[in-house]
Amino acid sequence: MKMRVGIGYDVHPLVKGRKLILGGVHIPCPMGLAGHSDADVLLHSIGDALLGAAGGKDIGSLFPDNDPKYEGISSLVLLKKIFKLLKEEGYRVNNLDATLVAEEPNLSSYISGMKKNIAQVLGIQHNQIGIKATTSEGLGFLGKKKGICCWATASIQMVK
């Protein structure tokens, strides 16, 4: 069976007047992430990692930010579409690993909900998903609480 690995990265600025959504979970916070969709950096980076593992285009090519049909869309819907593409190509997801970087809010109590949402969309178990949260120790734009970013790695396997 053919194993493939991909990496994804996403970053969005924090702004007032938006909900903070990570892994499909609403996190109470006075600021949210700016973007055309719900700006869920966790799901966007996972989507890019999955697409990269399959040798596909990036998430922005599939769901362009100038297309009105994606305005405000839940990134869980986008992840479902990516998963459908992978299945059509004969792949299944082995595991995911992601690291969120945010000074605030503390994300640890929301990680299990994020894993539940992702596992449900991708048809995998919680223990096939690693999600960690860290800070940038006050350094750079992330450390100044101006944004949140995420790195993700995905491994997929050909099952056809």
- How does the average pLDDT of the chain come out, rounded? 96
Distance CA 28, CA 120 (A): 23
**What is the bridge-based pairing of β-strands 25-27 and 20-22?**
antiparallel
Task: Check whether 160 has a pLDDT greater than 80.
Answer: no
**What is the bridge-based pairing of β-strands 129-134 and 91-101?**
parallel
Overall average pLDDT of the 74-78 stretch: 98
Overall average pLDDT of the 45-54 stretch: 98
Overall average pLDDT of the 116-127 stretch: 97
Task: Check whether 99 has a pLDDT greater than 80.
Answer: yes
Q: Quickly state the pLDDT bin for 103 (edges 50, 70, 90).
A: very high
3-state secondary structure of 97: strand
Distance CA 134, CA 99 (A): 7
pLDDT of residue 1: 65
Domains of the chain in sequence order = 3-158 (3.30.1330.50)
Task: Check whether 130 has a pLDDT greater than 90.
Answer: yes
Overall average pLDDT of the 137-160 stretch: 93
40: left (phi over 0), alpha (psi -120 to 50) or beta: beta
**What is the reported pTM?**
0.96
Task: Check whether 136 has a pLDDT greater than 70.
Answer: yes
pLDDT of residue 111: 98
